[in-house]
Chain A
Amino acid sequence: DGGITQSPKYLFRKEGQNVTLSCEQNLNHDAMYWYRQDPGQGLRLIYYSQIVNDFQKGDIAEGYSVSREKKESFPLTVTSAQKNPTAFYLCASKTGFLDTQYFGPGTRLTVL
Chain B
Amino acid sequence: GIQVEQSPPDLILQEGANSTLRCNFSDSVNNLQWFHQNPWGQLINLFYIPSGTKQNGRLSATTVATERYSLLYISSSQTTDSGVYFCAGYSGGYQKVTFGTGTKLQVIP
Residues of A within 8 A of B (CB): 31, 33, 35, 37, 41-45, 48, 50, 56, 58-59, 88, 90, 92, 97-103, 105-106, 108
Interface residue SS majority, chain A = strand
What's the Cα separation between A94 and B43 when bound, in Å? 14
Contacts A42-B100, A42-B101, A42-B102 hold; do A97 and B95 have CB atoms under 8 A apart? Answer: yes
Given known contacts A42-B86, A42-B100, is B45 in contact with A102 (CB within 8 Å)? Answer: yes
What chain B residues lie within 8 Å of A42 (beta carbons)? Answer: 86, 99-102
Please tell me which one of the listed residues B31, B33, B41, B94 contacts residue A50 in the complex, with CB atoms under 8 A apart. Answer: B94
Interface string of B2-36 (1 = CB under 8 A from A): 00000000000000000000000000000101010
